[in-house]
Chains A and B, each alone.
Chain A
Amino acid sequence: MTDKLGEPIVEIIDLHKWFGNFHVLKGINLKVYRQERIVICGPSGSGKSTLIRCINRLEEHQKGKIIVDGIELTSNIKNIEKIRSEVGMVFQHFNLFPHLTVLENLTLGPIWVRKMPKKEAEEIAMHFLEKVHIADQAHKYPGQLSGGQQQRVAIARSLCMSPKIMLFDEPTSALDPEMIKEVLDVMIELAQEGMTMIVVTHEMGFAKKVAHRVLFMDGGTIVEGNTPEEFFSNPKHERTKLFLSQILH
Chain B
Amino acid sequence: MNNPPETSLQSEKALKRLRRRRAADTRFRMYGLAALGFALFSLVFLISAIAWKASGAVTYHVVKTDIVLTPERIAPDGNASPEEITRNIEGFYTLVRDDLFAHFPNAGDSLAVRQDFSALVDRLAVLPLARRVARHPSLIGQSVTVEVPVSDDVDLFLKRSSPRSIPFRIRAGAQINPGQGGGMVLAQPDLRSVRTTLTALGEQDGVPSVFVTSKGAVARLSDLGDEAATFELLAGDVADFESTPLKGLIVTVPESRRTISDLQIAWALALRSEGIIRRVPHTSLLTRTDSTYPELAGALAALVGSLLTMLVTGMVAIPMGIFAAIFLEEFAPKNRLTQLIEVNINNLAAVPSIVFGLLGATLLLGTFGLPRSAPLVGGLVLALLILPVVIIAARAALRAVPPSIRSGALAVGASRMQAVFHHVLPLAFPGMLTGAILGMARALGETAPLLLIGMVAFVAEVPSSTTDEATALPVLIYSWASNAERAWEPMTAAVIVILLALLVIMNVIVVMLRRKFERRW
A binds B: no
Which A residues are closer than 8 A to B by beta carbons?
A: none
- On B, residues with C-beta under 8 Å from A are none
